[in-house]
Structure 1
Amino acid sequence: MMSKNKTATLMEVARLAGVCRSAAGKVLNGTGGSIRVGSAARERVTEAARKLKYRPNMAGAVLAGGDSRLIGVILDSQGHYRNLRLLIELEALCTENGYQLLTCFSHDNPRVMSRNYSMLMRYGVTGVICCAHDYPGLISEVEAIFDDGGRVVFMEKPEFEAENYVETKRTNAFRKMISSALASGYRRIGAVHGDSIWSSERKLRNEFRQALSDCGIEPDDRFLYQYSEEAGTAERCGEAMRRLILPQKPDFLFVHDAPSAVFLQNLIREAGLEVTLHGGDDDPVFSGFLPRTGSLDPHYRRIAELLFETASGKRPECRETVETVFRRNSIRRKR
C-alpha cells in the first residue's frame, strides 16, 4: 500500500492498469508519441490513476514533447455577460475533452496583458484564447504581445492582422428583429450602445443601421444613442433618457446588455412612458423583466467550439463568422 505522503508515479499507474508506461503517458499526459491506446485500455488507465490519486506532471509532459492540455484565456476585467457565458461554455468543452482552463484578466493595459500572456506561455499552454484586445490607441502594443508565433485565437477580429479569430455578425438577426417589431406595430425603432471609439461598438452600430435600411427605414442618428464608456451605468442611462427617449419617444429600443436595460426600464416607467426593450447578449436577466423582454442569441456554444478547437490545435486555422440568432415570437405586440 502506498504511503500517505508518497505521490503515485506513472509507472505504478501503468502496472495497475496492465499497460506499458508509454500507453499510460499517452492517456494521462499526452506523451507517448504515435502510440495508440484502445478504449478498454484507456478506461483501465483512467481508473488506475483515480485509485492511486495520480496527478499528471504538466511540466514533465511539455518537456517530453507532449500536450499540457491547458488552454489559456485572457479576458477583459470589465467585460459583461458575454465573457462569463463564453467561459462557462469553454469550461464545459475542456472538461469533455480532458483539458483545463487557465484564466487571467486585464483591461486597457498592454503591460498587464503581456505579463499574463508570458505567464500562460511559461505554464506551457496548448493555446491561448484572447477576448481582450479592442483597446483604442493601443493596437500596436497589443499586436506586439502576440508576435511570438504562439497559437492564439481572438474573440472577434482584431484591428491588426491575425491568423486566427472568431467574429460575430448580427446584421441578419437585426433585420429579423426589426421586421418582427414592424409587424408587431412598432414604428419608432432605436438602439442604445457603447462608445464608437471601440471597434466592436462601431460594428454594432453599422450593422444596426444596415438592418434598418434593409427594412425600409432611413437610419436616423437621433434614434441611435451611444453612451460614453467613461460613464457609469446609471449615468449612461440618464443621458439616454435625456438625449433619446424623452425627446424622440421611441416605442422599440435595442439595448445590448441587461444592466443598462434594467436601469433604462426603471427610468422609462418613472417617466410614465411605454417602450419595449430587446436585448442582445442573451443574459438570463432579460427573461426576468416584466413584461418579459426578448434577446438575440449570440450562439455562444458555437463560438466556444471554434475557439476551443483552434486553441487546442484540433483546427489548424480559423477565420470563422458566427451568425447571431433572432428568436421568433420574442417581441410582443404593441399595445
Structure 2
Amino acid sequence: MTTTPPLRRATILEVARSAGASKTSVSRYFSGERERLSRELQARIAEAARCLGYRPNQMARGLKGGHSRLIGMLVADIRNPFSVAVMHGVEQACREQGYSLLVCNTDNDPAQERARLALLASYRVEGLVINVAGRPSRELHTLADQGIPLVLLDRELDLVEADVVGLDNAGAIDMALDHLAGQGYGELLYVSEPPEQISSRQRRLERFRQGLGERGLTGEALCLALEGQEGALTDGITTFLARPGRPPRALLCANGNVTLAVTRTLQRLGIRLGETGLLGIDELDWCELVPPGITTLAQPTAMIGQAAVDRLLQRLEASGHRAPPRRLHYQPTLISRGSTRR
C-alpha cells in the first residue's frame, strides 16, 4: 500500500529562483512595496508564485516586522444575536482596513475569559475589542501596559481606562417607556437576565425603575437566568398578568435572548399580543414573522462594530500619546409592530 506524501509549501526562495529575481524583490512584492519593482518583474514574480502555489506566511511576516495585522475580539456569548451582528460589523471594518479578525468566545465564563485574553496576546494582536463576561481588570491593565489599545464593547469596567462603544442604554429604555406609555400601557414587567457584573444590564434596569415614576407608570422587574428557568419565567409572567384590576399591561424585554424566551412563554399561555404589549430590545429576523409582529428597538450593530475598529486604529496611529478614553453611545431605532398596538 502506497501513500501520497503531504504537499510541501513552496518557499520564497523557490519563487525567487523561478522568477529570476532576488529574494528581497519577492519579499517586497508580497509586503506591499511592489511599486518599487518594475512591471515586468512584478509579472514574473506573480506568475512564479501562481505556478508554485506559493502563499506568504502572513503571521511570520507580521511578527518579523512588528505588525501582525490582527485584531482580536473577545465575545462573552457568541450565541447572542447582538454579538453575532456586531462581530460582523467589526469583521467588515477590519477587512476594509487590511486587518484580519481573530475571535474568541468565553461563554460568559470569567476563567475562560482570562485564558482567551492570554491566547489573543500570544498572537500579537494589534488591538482588542472586548465584550467582557467578568472583571478581568488586571489582565486588561497588563495588555494596555504592553501598548495594545482596548475598546470595551457594550459593557464597561470601572477600573479600566479604555474606549467604550455601545448602545445608549438609558436612551433605549426611555424610548421604550415613551412608546409603551403612548400606546396606553400603564403597568409594565421588565424581564432581564441577571444584571450583576454586566454594566449594560445594570444601566437598563436602573433607568427602567427611574423612568416609571417620571411617566406615572407602575411596574416591576423580573431578573433570572434563562437556561433551566422556564418554570420561573412562566410563573413570573402569569403572576404579573393575573393581578387584580385591568390596567393595560406590557412586557419589556432587556435583550434578544429574553424576547425569544418571553415570546415562547406567551405563546404557551395563549396570550394575545397587543392586548398584552410586548417590546424587545434588539431586532431579530423572526420578530416580524410572529403574528402580529413584535415591536423592537434595533441597535445600529454595523455602526457600533465600525466605531470599535475606528477607535482601535486611531489609538494605534496615536501610539505613545495616551488621550482620555471616549464613550460612544448610539441610539436605537424603534420598529413598531402589532405587539404594542392595542
- Matched position secondary structure for 1:296: strand
Superposed displacement of residue 265, structure 1: 3.1
- Matched position secondary structure for 1:291: coil
Change (3 A) 1:247 1:130: same
Deviation string for 1:158-191 (max 9, x for gaps)?
2322233224213333333333333333333342
Is 1:311 the counterpart of 2:292 in the alignment?
no
Change (3 A) 1:57 1:292: same
Among all aligned residue pairs of Structure 1 and Structure 2, give the percentage whose two residues are the same amino acid.
18
Is 1:205 the counterpart of 2:212 in the alignment?
no
Q: Distance in 1 between matches of 2:307 and 2:45?
A: 27
Q: Distance in 2 between matches of 1:315 and 1:144?
A: 20
In structure 1, the gaps of 5 or more residues are none
- Matched position secondary structure for 1:295: strand
Match of 1:234 in 2: 230
Match of 2:150 in 1: 152
For residue 113 of structure 1, what is the amino acid of its counterpart?
E
Match of 1:26 in 2: 31
Bigger drift between 165-174 and 300-309 goes to 165-174
Superposed displacement of residue 277, structure 1: 1.0
- Matched position secondary structure for 1:247: coil
* Cα pair 2:281 2:296 within 8 Å, conserved: yes
Q: TM-score, normalised to structure 1's length? A: 0.76
In the TM superposition, 1:113-262 aligns within 5 A as 113-133=113-133, 135=134, 138=135, 140=137, 143=140, 146=143, 148-149=145-146, 150-155=148-153, 156-198=155-197, 199-213=199-213, 216-218=214-216, 220=218, 223-229=219-225, 232-247=228-243, 251-262=249-260
Superposed displacement of residue 324, structure 1: 2.7
Match of 1:334 in 2: 341
For residue 278 of structure 1, what is the amino acid of its counterpart?
L
For residue 166 of structure 1, what is the amino acid of its counterpart?
V
Q: Distance in 1 between matches of 2:285 and 2:308?
A: 23
Match of 1:289 in 2: 290
- Matched position secondary structure for 1:191: strand
* Cα pair 2:279 2:339 within 8 Å, conserved: no
Match of 2:266 in 1: 268
Rg larger in 1 or in 2? 2
- Matched position secondary structure for 1:176: helix
Match of 1:65 in 2: 65
* Cα pair 1:80 1:257 within 8 Å, conserved: no
For residue 191 of structure 2, what is the amino acid of its counterpart?
V
- Matched position secondary structure for 1:195: coil
Superposed displacement of residue 280, structure 1: 0.6
Bigger drift between 62-71 and 265-274 goes to 265-274
Q: Distance in 2 between matches of 1:143 and 1:235?
A: 38
Superposed displacement of residue 297, structure 1: 1.6
- Matched position secondary structure for 2:31: helix
Change (3 A) 1:168 1:265: closer
From 3, 9, 12, the equivalent of 1:9 is 12
Bigger drift between 171-180 and 281-290 goes to 171-180
For residue 115 of structure 2, what is the amino acid of its counterpart?
R
Q: Distance in 1 between matches of 2:239 and 2:142?
A: 40
Q: Distance in 2 between matches of 1:59 and 1:247?
A: 62
Number of residues of Structure 1 aligned to a counterpart in Structure 2: 317
Change (3 A) 1:322 1:64: same
Q: TM-score, normalised to structure 2's length? A: 0.75
Change (3 A) 1:201 1:16: farther
Bigger drift between 286-295 and 149-158 goes to 149-158
Q: Distance in 1 between matches of 2:177 and 2:227?
A: 28
Superposed displacement of residue 255, structure 1: 0.9
Change (3 A) 1:81 1:142: farther
Q: Distance in 2 between matches of 1:63 and 1:125?
A: 10
* Cα pair 1:258 1:286 within 8 Å, conserved: no
